[in-house]
Homo-oligomer: A and B are copies of this chain.
Amino acid sequence: MKEIKVGIIGATGYGGIELIRLLSNHPHFQIHAVYSSSQDGMEISEVYPHLANILYTLKKIEPKEMAKELDIIFTATPSGVSSQLVPQLLKEGIKVVDLSGDFRLKTEELYEKWYKKPSASIEDLEKSVYGLSEWFADEVKESTFIANPGCYPTATLLGLAPLAQKKLIQPNSIIVDAKSGISGAGRGLSPIVHYAEINENLKIYKINQHPHIPEIESILARWDDQIGHISFSPHLIPMSRGIMSTMYVQLNKEFSAEEIHQLYVNCYEDAPFVRVRKLGEFPSTKEVSGSNYCDINVTVDERTNRVTIVAVIDNLVKGAAGQAIQNGNIMMGYDQQTGLNVLPIYP
């Protein structure tokens, strides 16, 4: 059985160590080397003692060397870093799954408006495929460069896709009230995620200003170009992991809760990582923790003909490292579930 040699760039962030955790049980992907621009030369176990028995020395990023040794690279680098780095890797002919936001938007203007940073070039933007593989697996399969979806967009798009794709949504009617555990903010120090400040606290931030908004809107527009703008409010929840996206949508036709629920069941019957829950049973974030599942349910308020959709994921798995491996599996011709078939950790 061929062994796929994997590199992880940005191995010392939360996305990076989650890749290490998940890949350590992958039957075909073998971590060949881990890279860090800021901490090269250190052992990974010095940075993260929970990896005490893992022997990886963090290496410098050298694209030419990597090309010789690696089959695929996961770049878990911050926005603004990937846009510089990934084109060099692509030039060397390595397959790349990029976990940053740098290649998810398809025009330079849109990127620079929302990220307030210089964009990658339009040529490079166009090379990437958006890796929401439940909907774009065919493109992923053919691609060598995946822009891995953001954490909020993953839950939100999986939640909205069945309605958007059937063109059932009234223009400009989508409201996304998104909630994330604190690991979503990364490992960088900040007063906002200082324990004593965010513990026992609930914080709303970047209302209608989060860079995941254009990502969601542009993918929705691929399914329904009349769908318009969304209102999007992210909140920080005092827990380490988990995202819940609570979505409110005005339908353009009348449906019962049963009909809409059935639509979702049908849409996702072949998607092993999407669990549409039983009618009336709504998912909690802990019910997918540590796993690659996205659990979803819907209901209709007959008084207002408004749909409420709830989608939950583990932000570091389905919202980052897990989905990246799922994309890597598809790119490499493996079953998408390979190495990802673990149950949620509960309680």
The CA of A183 and the CA of B195, in the complex, are separated in Å by 8
Mask, A184-203, CB within 8 Å of B = 1, is 01010111011111111111
A203 proximity list for chain B (CB < 8 A):
282, 284-285
A293 proximity list for chain B (CB < 8 A):
53
The CA of A24 and the CA of B20, in the complex, are separated in Å by 20
Q: State the 7 A-B residue pairs at the shortest beta-carbon distance, nearest first.
A: A201-B286, A50-B287, A177-B177, A196-B347, A189-B189, A203-B284, A229-B303
Known: A189-B191, A288-B50. A183 touches B347 (CB 8 A): yes
- Taking A52-B287, A201-B286 as given, write out 11 further A-B residue pairs in contact, using a Cβ cutoff of 8 Å, ordered by the A residue number: A24-B341, A49-B281, A177-B246, A179-B235, A195-B238, A196-B347, A200-B239, A203-B284, A208-B299, A241-B347, A290-B290
A288 proximity list for chain B (CB < 8 A):
50
Known: A196-B183, A342-B24. A347 touches B190 (CB 8 A): no
Q: Does A5 sit within 8 A of B, measured CB to CB?
A: no
Q: Does A11 sit within 8 A of B, measured CB to CB?
A: no
The closest CB in chain B to the CB of A281 belongs to: B49
A346 proximity list for chain B (CB < 8 A):
17, 21, 48, 50
Which of the 9-residue segments A70-78, A117-125, A161-169, A304-312 touches chain B? Answer: A304-312
Contact of A248 among B175, B185, B189, B283 (CB under 8 A): B175
A194 proximity list for chain B (CB < 8 A):
187, 189, 193-195
Q: Does A25 sit within 8 A of B, measured CB to CB?
A: yes
Highest count of chain B CB atoms <10 Å: which of A50, A52, A182:
A50
Q: Does A279 sit within 8 A of B, measured CB to CB?
A: no
The closest CB in chain B to the CB of A172 belongs to: B304
Contact B208 A196 (CB under 8 A): no
Contact A289 B196 (CB under 8 A): no
Contact A237 B202 (CB under 8 A): yes
Contact of A237 among B52, B237, B281, B299 (CB under 8 A): B237
Contact A246 B235 (CB under 8 A): yes
Q: Does A54 sit within 8 A of B, measured CB to CB?
A: yes
Q: Does A69 sit within 8 A of B, measured CB to CB?
A: no
Known: A177-B246, A343-B24. A193 touches B196 (CB 8 A): yes
Mask, A215-235, CB within 8 Å of B = 1, is 000000000000011010101
Q: Does A159 sit within 8 A of B, measured CB to CB?
A: no
